[in-house]
Chain A
Amino acid sequence: MVENRPVLDFLAHLVLALGVALVAFPVWIAFVASTHAPTRFLTGLVPLLPGDNLVETYRTMLTAGISTSGAPPVAGMLWNSLVMAVLIATGKIAISLTSAFAIVYFRFPLRQLAFWLIFITLMLPVEVRILPTFEVVAGLGMLNSYAGLTVPLIASATATFLFRQVFLTIPDELTEAARIDGAGPMKFFRDIMIPLSRTNIAALFVILFIYGWNQYLWPLLITTDDGYYTIVAGIKRMAEAAESDPKWNYIMATAMMAMLPPVLVVLAMQRLFVKGLVETEK
């Protein structure tokens, strides 16, 4: 701060308070809606303060779901989302670590080509090649499976670049020392490279977990069996039924449960989250 200006300080606090309110307001309304009984919404006036139906709503959604809206129990969908997010994050990190290691520590023919092939994935998001990718996955018999939900998404150019940067900063002397001590490439990778990139791995995991959890289009396309619905994609199927028979409290309860895990991850690991976000964009 350059000089002391109380008016500007006050203004800044005011702006930030407004910003925080703007950010939190939709979630507050959703939370309030999830604590009222369904009949409360028939009057046409939305409540602004929580009701007394919280436990009932959440218990119903977690264990039973709403069969008339094609919504399976939320507990199952939460589990599927967790499996998907963890598999995607771990898979991306694992295959990117080995790829980056190969690119940095070996000289082999077509090395540049391999690098470019990985780079291309950045330019082909699922959204632009929906139909042919779906056909490949259907052809491989991977519809309605965890493999189909995760494997097509685990190629990662950003993660590979990130680890490449990390490996490039590791001094050559360390490699020389390891080689003199008789360590082969895999031992060096396992005992030196992975421990050295531990914080980068953790930071990336936070970002990729959120990425995996929030997937929408892909799970919507390849799951037709409600045993494989993820919560973010599942909520759309509920909302569709809601147009004719609104069960707002249940929909909003599901929305709350869908955002809680990734939001908790961000709040609990804020430093790692910021680190991961900034690093993946370099």
Chain B
Amino acid sequence: MKRTIFGNRLLPWFLLAPQLAVTAVFFLWPAGQAVWQSFLRQDAFGFSTTFVGFANYGALFADPFYRNALQVTAVFAVTVAALALGVALILAVAVDRMIRAAPAYTTLIVWPYAVAPAIAGILWWFMFNPTIGILAYGLKQWGYRWDHLLDAGDAMMLVVIAAAWKQVSYNFLFFVAGLQSIPASMREAAAIDGAGPVKRFFTITLPLLTPTTFFLLVVNVVYAMFDTFPVIDATTEGGPVQATTVLVYKVYMDGFVGLNLGSSAAQSVVLMGIVIFLTVMQFRYVERRVNY
């Protein structure tokens, strides 16, 4: 809190006006529209709309495709987060041992942060291309016929790898920062007491890294759920047979391609609920810095 302030009544509103105007017109109004439309049903020709209460939500959760999308999203988010966090942690622990080489390695690992998710998708899509992709070719030598256009598991692998590849750099930076904040005296004390490197990692480093890990877990789940639309749209387009249709992709398909306004709006509202939950998690627990 500031003790010294300026005493003008109108000026703060002028200063806030641009931000509030953009928020109201492009955030609050559309969100309100989505909530309102989720209670309406339009007939097939768009001539009349009727208020249907929670019918859209009921239909949504009864729809096997939507339940499939929920499941796909859960699998996708958990796999992306686990892969991206695991690889980043291993790399961060390795860099933490380095003294002179650390900055060079860091530079070489962080740059994919700048690569757009859509481009990351295209790169992996090219390498896994069943006819000319180098990885698909390699897998064929091992006796596996990779085809993400037909095989649901292959398609899921493709989008998970592309999405995680891009996220490793971000997690890496935060893990390195987390590792550096662990006092060296603790590890030295444990070493003197006879704990080897592996034991020290599991009893000292990992527990003290919990706040960072928890924060990154939330960020990665948010990333996998909401920022990976481009990865999926640029590669599998939700296929084959909706095997990679995550919730965000389904909102887009039902709203823009299928023009099913009521259902799309209800899906938007469900997603808003999820974002609000995740944001609250992040702010409540990250602020307090979970520690054991």
Residues of A bordering B, CB below 8 Å: 1-3, 5, 8-9, 11-13, 15-16, 19-20, 22-24, 26-27, 29-30, 33, 41, 44-46, 48, 94-96, 98-99, 101-108, 111, 114, 117-118, 120-125, 127-137, 151-152, 154-156, 160, 168, 172, 175-176, 179, 184-186, 188, 210, 213-214, 216-217, 220-221, 232-233, 235-236, 239, 246, 248, 251-252, 255, 258-259, 262-263, 265-267, 270, 273-274, 277-278, 281
Contact = CB atoms under 8 A, between A and B. Distances in A.
A277 B169 CA distance: 11
Contact of B115 (A118, A129, A263): A263
A30 B272 contact: no
- Chain B residues touching A, majority SS: helix
Interface in B83-133: 87, 90-91, 93-95, 97-99, 101, 105, 107-120, 122-127, 131-133
B76 interface: no
A136 B22 CA distance: 12
B233 interface: yes
B55 interface: no
B16 A132 contact: no
Contact of B116 (A184, A214, A270): A214
A120 B23 contact: yes
Contact residues on B (Cβ < 8 Å of other chain), bracket: 35 or more
B219 to A, nearest CB: 7
A90 to B, nearest CB: 12
Closest 5 CB pairs of A and B: A132-B30, A214-B116, A262-B114, A102-B15, A132-B33
30 contacts: A12-B93, A16-B94, A19-B105, A23-B111, A23-B112, A29-B123, A29-B126, A46-B132, A95-B19, A98-B19, A103-B12, A106-B6, A118-B19, A124-B272, A127-B252, A128-B268, A130-B251, A131-B268, A133-B26, A134-B256, A188-B6, A210-B114, A216-B118, A233-B118, A235-B234, A236-B233, A248-B132, A258-B119, A259-B119, A281-B219
A50 to B, nearest CB: 14
Interface of B: 2-6, 8-9, 11-13, 15-16, 18-20, 22-31, 33-34, 37, 87, 90-91, 93-95, 97-99, 101, 105, 107-120, 122-127, 131-134, 137, 165, 168-170, 173-174, 177, 184, 187-188, 191, 197, 200, 215, 219, 226-227, 229-230, 233-234, 248, 251-252, 255-256, 261, 264-265, 268, 271-272, 275-276, 279
